[in-house]
Structures are given as structure tokens and as C-alpha cells.
Chain A
Amino acid sequence: MDALVTVRGVTRVFAAKGGVGQVHALGPIDLSLPSGEFFAVVGPSGCGKSTLLEIIAGLSEPTTGEVFFDGSRVGGFVPRGIGIIFQDDASFPWLTVRENIAFGLKRRGVDALTVRQKVEEALKLTGLRQFGDAYPAQLSGGMRQRVCIARTLVLEPRLILLDEPFGALDQQTRLLMGDELLRLWRETGATILLITHALDEAAMLSDRVGVMSARPGTFLEVVTTRWPRERDSTIATKPEFGEITSHLWALLRAQSIKSISETAAP
């Protein structure tokens, strides 16, 4: 099966502040995501995970290498068919939940009837049906992220990129949102790339986990979890979960120490 996303030899280098020298922020990265896969990326702070996501999305350009999405080269703009969920709350406080979700559809000129239909579906899918007429300010952080997810899902993306989407939430909400994400993944059949610093989250949710080194980030190893498609947070009780998580930490520990000592130096 042809991969939905192919990343070949991507690096990102930019000029250092003050104009002296360069910062090698990322790469080289090679990655291939088959359609329908749930792939997580973990790595120490500053290793370039977010940069990688932005390059795959088309939000920024790589210094070398290329990205292919659905057969075409990605560059300069975000292709249709890619949805992005950010860590910061991107919901629009001046619109109701319904209006937020309808936003992308309306901008594309979809007719009102179809918009209403799809928004209702998305509300149901993300469990927001009662809150359709509420404003984001009245909702909790987790619900607001759900609004952002609904707003993205309603456009039926084939690839969904999530950059630490649950970072601002407490642990229990995170776990529940993780279950939600799995459910949405199964129901939409989309390919998912999740960036997270939480090893348990990566281990629990994904088919494969890419472990990145400290800056400049490259893939040290890609761990395959072999979980069945029908899964939820209760797989945390299985012994394999513990093994996978320990393995991830074993790989990451040295990298994290390295990354912290680098940022601490003057």
C-alpha cells in the first residue's frame, strides 16, 4: 500500500539569533506513514518535534528534503486533506461552538444546509451536542480542544496532525481525551500523527512510536506496539504496555539529560 505521507531527508536549519552561525534544529528525518495509521512522535524538549509537524503540514519549509502527502509534494501552503490541532487553544471566543465548527465549511462556500448537517454530525461525534450554542469561554479546556477537533474533523481530513493537543489538560482529562481520539480515529479512518511528550500517551494510543533524539532531532528508533485497532486506555493494564513505556524511556532518558544540559549552558 502506498504511504499517505512520505518524509525524505528533511532537515531544518536556520540562522542563529545575532546572525552568527546556524542552528541545526531538525533532521535528517525519514518517515513513511501508511494510510490509516496512528503514529506518535516522542522526544526531549527542543528536539524539533513541532518543527517536524509544521513541515509535514506545509506551515514551514524544510531546508533540505521533501514531504509528500497523498502523492503530491507539500510546500508553501497547507494542502486540503490535512487537519491540524495545536497545543494552544485555537477556538474562537467570539463564535458559538456551532459557529466555530462551521467556520472552515463556511469559508469554503459550502451551502447552509450541508453545513448544518455536518456540524450536527460533528457535535455528535465529539460529544458536544448539548453545548452547541455555548461560547468557548463557558467551556473547560478539554471541551475547547474538542471544539477545535470537531472544527477540523468536519472537513473530513485524511491526515490529522496533533501537536501536544492535551498538554494543557490534567492527567485524567488527558486519558479520557485519548480514548476519544482513538474512537474518532476508528470512526473516520483518518491517519493520525500525534506529537506528545507523555510516553504513556504515545504507548497507549499509537500503532508505532517514533523516538527522537535531542537536537538536532532524528529518529533513534521506531517502536511498533502491535495493539489491535479496537483499543482504549484500559490497555494500560496489559504487561506489554509497561514494556513499551520502559523501552521508550530507556531510549529517551539519555536524550533528555543531553537536551537539558544543553539548554542550561550559558
Chain B
Amino acid sequence: MTSASAGVRPKLERAGELAVLIGLLLAAWQLMHHIAGDIAMTTPLETIRYTAKLLASADFWPHFETTAKAFVIALALALAGGALIGILLGFHRLSGEIAEPILVAVYSIPKVILYPIILLVFGLGLVSEVAFGTLHGIVPVMVFSMNAVRNIKPVLVRTGRVLGLSTWSMMRTILLPAAFPEIFTGLRIGFSVTLLGTVMSEMFGSKRGLGFLLMNALGVNDVQLIMSLALLLVTFAAIANAMLMAIERRIYRLK
């Protein structure tokens, strides 16, 4: 039995299973529409058509830009800041020990209730949105980076010393690459959570952005728009996450 045949069949099976999953989800959607009626939902087909129209309309893109801008900045801050702080906390044991319960506590609270404080401090606008998105995303990145560094096998540090490497060089060539896979997992989770934070901040107290568009659509009972935006955001989040997971699997395999 060659390795080629061992690989192809599982791939076909996996694709088949994915197709079944998507099929089931679409069927459930269609069924819900059947029960709830046109006033409450649109069918998958209608939603896709409307989404195409939406993407073609000029009104959509300014809102998209607002969200995209806030998201990208928040992402950069959350990933870079979180990784940096997390790595430092990982290397300095005491600080890490002090910080950990605080981080866990922050992770478990409904951060959305802190949003008014952010608004009071930064005012309405891009800064608040970015702050909120960053607040969401930075915590998991920190926690994962910290743990990634803590989990570096001591034998690697000893190897570095034996090779006579300086601390910086040891970190660069041995330790951080060893910690990278777990850090990447944190980045992936940080990505999704930052997106959540950014969109949520627009759902409250905002005048622009996809989140605002969503709540506005609710206000005027524009069901098509509500479903269309939900579909866009869910699809984007799912596909982005799937891609990141594929990269992550490859990173772990190289390890």
C-alpha cells in the first residue's frame, strides 16, 4: 500500500463530510425560514443574492472601511502587544505568576460592560473602537504567549548555553521558535476575539461600521440586511479561522 493512496482517501472523505455539514446547516436554515416566515428570515438563496447586491452598492463600503480600519489597528495592537507582554511574562516567572489570575479574571468578565468607561475616557469614535477591540484580543494572546514560553523545555535552554549563545541570540534562534506554535494559537484566537470586540463596539454607541449597520437594520426591521450582514461576518470569521488553523497545523508539524 503506497502512502499516496493512504492520503487521498481520507482527503476525499473529509471533503465529503464537510459537504454534508454545510448541507445540513443550509437545510436547517431553510427549515427555520419555513417555520419563521419571510417577515423574520430570508432563505439561503435570497440572502446570497442580497449580499451580492449589498457588496455592489456604494452605501456599504464606507461602513466596511470603518470596521476594517478599526479591526486592523486593534489586531496589530492586540497581537503585537499581547505577544510581547506575554513573552516577557513567560520569561520572568514571578511577574507571570502575579499576572495570571488577573488575566484569567479579565478573560472571564463580560468585557462589553467596560465599554462605557472606554467611551467616557476616549470619546465616541475610532479610538474607542480600537481600544475595545484591542482589550478583547490582547488577553488570549498574552495568556497563550506566556504559557508558550513557560512550556519551553529546559533542555533547550541548556543546549543554548552549551553552544555559548548570548541570551538574545538564544531567544531568537532556539527559544522563540520553540514557543512559536503555541504563540500562534494565541494569535489565531486573538484574531477572532478582536473581530468580535470590534464589531460589538459598533453595535453600541456608534454611528458607522458594520456593527452599527446591523443594529440600524434591526431598528428599521430590514430583515434582508440583518441576515446578509450576519452571513458576511460569520463567513469571514469562519474562513479566516479555517485558514489560520491550516497554517497552525503546518507550523505544529514542522515542529
Q: A20: CB under 8 A from chain B? A: yes
Q: B39: CB under 8 A from chain A? A: no
By secondary structure, the A interface counts as: loop
Over the window 1-30 of chain A, the binary record of Cβ atoms lying under 8 Å from chain B Cβ atoms (1 yes, 0 no) is 000000000000000001010000000000
Over the window 1-30 of chain B, the binary record of Cβ atoms lying under 8 Å from chain A Cβ atoms (1 yes, 0 no) is 100011000000000000000000000000
| Nearest opposing residue in chain A for B2, CB measure | A18
CA distance A18 to B7 in the complex (A): 11
CA distance A20 to B1 in the complex (A): 8
User: For the side of the interface on A, what is the size category?
Assistant: under 10
Return chain B residues, CB-CB under 8 Å to A20.
Answer: 1
Return chain A residues, CB-CB under 8 Å to B5.
Answer: 18
Return chain A residues, CB-CB under 8 Å to B6.
Answer: 18
CA distance A20 to B5 in the complex (A): 12
CA distance A266 to B254 in the complex (A): 23
CA distance A18 to B6 in the complex (A): 7
CA distance A18 to B1 in the complex (A): 8
CA distance A231 to B6 in the complex (A): 54
Return chain B residues, CB-CB under 8 Å to A18.
Answer: 1, 5-6
CB distance from B13 to the nearest CB of A (A): 13
CA distance A20 to B9 in the complex (A): 14
CA distance A190 to B5 in the complex (A): 51
| Nearest opposing residue in chain B for A20, CB measure | B1
Over the window 219-247 of chain B, the binary record of Cβ atoms lying under 8 Å from chain A Cβ atoms (1 yes, 0 no) is 00000000000000000000000000000
CB-contacts of A54-71 with B (<8 A): none
CB-contacts of B81-134 with A (<8 A): none
Return chain A residues, CB-CB under 8 Å to B1.
Answer: 18, 20
CB-contacts of B172-197 with A (<8 A): none
CA distance A247 to B5 in the complex (A): 46
CA distance A20 to B6 in the complex (A): 11
CB distance from A258 to the nearest CB of B (A): 23
CB distance from A178 to the nearest CB of B (A): 37
| Nearest opposing residue in chain B for A17, CB measure | B1
| Nearest opposing residue in chain B for A21, CB measure | B1
CB distance from B138 to the nearest CB of A (A): 38
| Nearest opposing residue in chain B for A19, CB measure | B1
| Nearest opposing residue in chain A for B9, CB measure | A18
CB distance from B7 to the nearest CB of A (A): 11
| Nearest opposing residue in chain A for B1, CB measure | A18
Return the 3 tightest CB-CB contacts between A and B, nearest first: A18-B1, A20-B1, A18-B6
Pairs across A and B, CB under 8 Å, 4 listed: A18-B1, A18-B5, A18-B6, A20-B1
